[in-house]
Amino acid sequence: MEDENPGLLEIKGLEIQYVVNKEIVRAVNGISLTIDERETLGLVGETGAGKTTTALALIGLIPVPPGKILNGEILYNGDNLLTKNERQMRKIRGSEISMIFQDPMTSLNPLLTVGEQIMEVIMLHENTSKLRATEKARQMLETVGISGDRYDEYPHQFSGGMKQRVMIAVALACDPKLLIADEPTTALDVTIQAQVLELMNDLKKKFNTAVLLITHDLGVVAEVCDKVAVMYAGYIVESGTLEHIFNDMHHPYTKGLFTTIPDIEVESEYLETLDGLMPDPMNLPEGCRFHPRCKYCMEQCKTDDPPVEEITPGHMVKCHLFSKAGD
C-alpha cells in the first residue's frame, strides 16, 4: 500500500556512480530519505561521504559522463525527477527546487551586478516584465538585509557574508518549495555564520520553504534542523528526528562525530578525533563500510552489509549491533 503522505521530497534507493580513468567511484549507495513541507533535514557527514552528489542529483546536475544514476527514484510531489529531460528540469530548477552552493565567491558571476543576477532568475521563471523583475530583485535584496540601492554593485564589492546573503536572495527569488543549502556557512567566520543561519531560519518561515541542509557541523544542525540523516561512504547509517540523533544516538559513527565536539565544561589538553579516514569510494571495504574504524567491530561486520533497522518509530540505524537478526 502506498504512503498516503509521502512528503514533499522522497528519495528511494538512490545509487550514483562515477567512472574515472576506468575506475568506478561508488559515490551514493542506495540511500532513502523523506523531507516534508516546511521541514529542515540536516544531511551530516565527513568530506567525501556523498552529500553534495546527492544534492546535485536532486536538481539534475550530475555530470554525465562521468556520472551515472544507476538506480532509485527522486519523487518531488510524487513526480519522479529522474524521468525529466533537461528542458523540464530547467523549469523546476530555481522555481520549485533551488540551491545555495558552497562557495559564494565562485557561484556569483563577477561580470554582472548582484541585482542583475537576481533579476535574471526571476525573468527566467516568471512571466513578468523586466521592470517588475528589477523591482522584485531589489525587494529580495532588502529581504536578506541588503539595501536595494546596492542593486547595481558587483560581487567584488561585497564581503563574504554579504555574498552569501545575495546567494540566498537568488535562491529564494522565485519562492521555491525546497531549498538545498550546501555547506552555506563554511566560508564564513563564526559571527557571520550565526547571522546567516538566523536569516535562513527567518526566511524559511516567511516563505514556507522546506530545506535540505548539507553540513559537517553538528552545531549548525542543532540550530536549524528538524530531522537529521548521518551519511558515511555513500550510505545513510542513522536517521531520525533531531532529538533521536542528539539525545539517543546509536550508530558508532554518529557517536564518533559527537566525541569530536569540544565540551566547554570539561578541561582537556587536546580535542578528540575520529580514528582513520573515510574509505576510498573506488575501493570500499566489504561488509559494513565503517568497520575498519569501528571499536565495536565484530567478525560479521567484516563480511555482511548490515540491514537498516527501526530502533524506535522514525529512528533508523544501519548497524549489526542493533540488527534484529543478531538479537
Q: What is the pLDDT of residue 219?
A: 85
Q: Which is nearest to 319 in space by CA: 246, 243, 241, 255?
A: 255
Q: What is the rounded (10 degree) CA torsion for 92, 33, 225, 159?
A: -40
Average pLDDT over residues 9-38: 95
Sequence-separated (6 or more) residues with CB below 8 Å from residue 74: 9, 10, 11, 12, 14, 57, 58, 80, 81, 82
Q: What is the pLDDT of residue 263?
A: 64
Q: What is the rounded (10 degree) CA torsion for 182, 278, 247, 273?
A: -110
Half-sphere exposure of residue 225: CA atoms within 13 angstroms, side-chain side: 29
Q: What is the pLDDT of residue 272?
A: 67
At 4, the pLDDT band (50, 70, 90 cuts) reads low
Q: Which three cell numbers stand for residue 173?
A: 527569488
Taking residue 30's Cβ as centre, other Cβ atoms within 10 Å add up to 17
Q: Where is average pLDDT lowest: 32-41, 80-89, 160-169, 256-265?
A: 256-265
Helices (H), the chain: 51-58, 86-92, 104-107, 114-125, 130-143, 160-172, 190-207, 218-224, 242-247, 252-259
Q: What is the pLDDT of residue 271?
A: 63
Percent of the chain at pLDDT above 70? 93
Average pLDDT over residues 203-227: 91
Residue with cell 550530475: 62
148-204 residue pLDDT tens: 999 999 999 999 889 989 999 999 999 899 999 998 887 677 788 888 888 888 888
Q: What is the pLDDT of residue 217?
A: 85
CA distance linking residue 24 with residue 42, whole number of Å: 28
Q: Which amino acid is at 52?
A: T
How high does pLDDT run on average in the chain? 90
Sequence-separated (6 or more) residues with CB below 8 Å from residue 97: 58, 59, 76, 176, 177, 178, 179, 180
CA distance linking residue 63 with residue 269, whole number of Å: 45
**Cβ contact 260:276 at 8 Å:** no
Residue with cell 538566523: 198
CA distance linking residue 26 with residue 68, whole number of Å: 10
Average pLDDT over residues 9-22: 95
Report the predicted TM-score, pTM, of the whole model to 2 decimal places: 0.90
Q: Which is nearest to 169 in space by CA: 214, 200, 192, 190?
A: 200
Average pLDDT over residues 235-246: 97
Taking residue 209's Cβ as centre, other Cβ atoms within 10 Å add up to 22
CA distance linking residue 37 with residue 183, whole number of Å: 21
Based on its alpha-carbon atoms, the radius of gyration of the chain, rounded to whole angstroms, reads 21
Q: Which three cell numbers stand for residue 123?
A: 525573468
Q: Which is nearest to 283 in space by CA: 77, 110, 53, 48?
A: 48
At 5, the pLDDT band (50, 70, 90 cuts) reads low
Determine the distance from the C-alpha atom of residue 251 to the mean position of all C-alpha atoms in its chain, rounded to a whole number: 20
Q: Give the residue extent of every domain in the chain.
A: 9-83+216-326
State the fold for domain 9-83+216-326. Answer: Rossmann fold (3.40.50)
Q: Where is average pLDDT lowest: 65-74, 84-93, 255-264?
A: 255-264
Q: What is the pLDDT of residue 327?
A: 47
**Cβ contact 160:105 at 8 Å:** yes
Residue 1 has pLDDT above 50, yes or no: no
292-325 residue pLDDT tens: 999 999 999 999 999 999 999 999 999 999 987 5
At 6, the pLDDT band (50, 70, 90 cuts) reads low
Average pLDDT over residues 136-156: 95
